[in-house]
C-alpha cells in the first residue's frame, strides 16, 4: 500500500511490517492526523522501491521473515541514508533496543503502543529529518560555491578563516597585498558572504575532505 504522489515537501511516513493488520492500522493512524504514508511488507520490498526523496521517517518492525528491521537500519546507513527510524516490535529486548538506539534510532517501542506515544515519536523523527535535509542542502550549496573558486582563491580563503591578516597572507603566498585584497573580495562574492564571520561559518560547513585537501 503506497500513498499517492504528493508535494515533495510534505512529510511521508514509511511503514515496514510483515503483518497486514498492523500495516493497515498504522496507515489509518497516520492518515488520521494528516500524514502521508507508504506501507511495505518487508525490508526488501522497501529497498526495491523508488525511495521517495521526501522528509519523513520510518516505522519498522524488528522481527520479520528474511531481513529484520535492524538489518534494514544497517543497510540504509551503509547507503548513506540517515532517514530517522522508529522501531515498533512485540518481541523487543534491552540489548536489541540498545543496539538500535546506538545506531541512531529515534525510539524503540513495544507493541501494543499508545497511538499518541507513536505519533510523538513520528513527529520527532520528521523534525529531525527536516533539520538534517536542511543542513545537507546548506552543505551542498557551500560546496558548489567553493568549487567555483580558483586555486589561489582557495588558498586565500584558507588563510582568512585561520585569522591571517592581508599582509601575512601576502607574505605567505608571495604575492602583493593588493592582490590578496582582490582575491579576498572574489572569495566573499563567490561564497556569497558579507563578513568574515559568515565566511568562517561557510568554511566550517564544508565537508571535511574539502577543508583538509591540500591546496595547489
Domain ranges of the chain: 12-136, 149-212
Same fold, 12-136 and 149-212: no
Residues 6+ positions from 52 with CB-CB distance below 8 Å: 12, 14, 38
Kindly report, residue by residue over 74-118, the tens digit of the pLDDT: 888 888 788 899 988 876 666 666 666 766 788 888 888 899 999
Q: Band of the pLDDT at 210, cuts 50, 70, 90?
A: confident
- Compute, in degrees rounded to 10, the torsion defined by CA atoms 197, 203, 206, 210: 180
- In DSSP terms, 59 is beta-bridged to 15, 86
Question: Is the CATH number of domain 12-136 3.30.565.10?
Answer: no
Length of the chain: 216
Q: What is the pLDDT of residue 93?
A: 65
For 100, other C-beta atoms within 10 Å of its C-beta total: 23
92 and 108 Cβ atoms separated by less than 8 Å = yes
39 and 26 Cβ atoms separated by less than 8 Å = yes
Q: Where are the alpha helices (DSSP H) in 48-176?
A: 69-78, 94-102, 115-147, 151-161, 166-173
Kindly report, residue by residue over 8-44, the tens digit of the pLDDT: 789 999 999 988 999 999 999 999 999 999 999 988 8
164: DSSP letter: -
- Of residues 114, 124, 126, the one with CA closest to residue 36: 126
Pick the CATH number of 149-212 from 1.10.10.10, 1.10.1200.10, 1.10.3720.10, 3.30.930.10: 1.10.10.10
101 and 70 Cβ atoms separated by less than 8 Å = no
Amino acid at each position: 500500500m503506497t500513498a499517492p504522489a504528493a508535494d515533495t515537501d510534505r512529510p511521508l511516513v514509511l511503514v515496514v511490517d510483515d503483518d497486514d493488520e498492523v500495516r493497515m492500522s498504522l496507515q489509518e493512524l497516520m492518515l488520521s492526523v494528516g500524514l502521508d504514508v507508504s506501507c511495505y511488507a518487508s525490508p526488501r520490498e522497501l529497498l526495491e522501491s523508488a525511495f521517495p526523496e521526501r522528509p519523513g521517517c520510518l516505522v519498522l518492525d524488528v522481527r520479520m521473515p528474511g531481513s529484520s528491521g535492524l538489518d534494514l537500519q544497517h543497510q540504509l546507513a551503509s547507503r548513506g541514508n540517515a532517514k530517522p527510524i522508529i522501531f515498533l516490535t512485540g518481541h523487543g529486548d534491552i540489548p536489541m533496543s540498545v543496539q538500535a538506539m546506538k545506531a541512531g534510532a529515534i525510539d524503540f517501542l513495544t507493541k501494543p503502543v499508545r497511538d499518541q506515544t507513536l505519533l510523538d515519536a513520528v513527529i520527532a523523527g520528521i523534525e529531525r529529518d527536516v533539520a538534517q535535509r536542511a543542513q545537507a542542502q546548506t552543505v551542498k550549496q557551500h560546496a558548489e560555491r567553493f568549487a567555483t573558486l580558483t586555486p589561489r582563491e582557495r588558498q586565500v580563503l584558507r588563510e582568512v578563516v585561520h585569522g591571517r591578516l592581508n599582509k601575512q597572507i601576502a607574505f605567505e603566498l608571495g604575492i602583493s597585498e593588493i592582490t590578496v585584497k582582490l582575491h579576498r573580495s572574489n572569495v566573499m562574492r563567490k561564497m556569497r558572504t558579507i563578513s568574515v564571520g559568515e565566511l568562517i561559518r561557510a568554511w566550517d560547513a564544508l565537508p571535511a575532505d574539502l577543508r583538509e585537501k591540500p591546496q595547489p
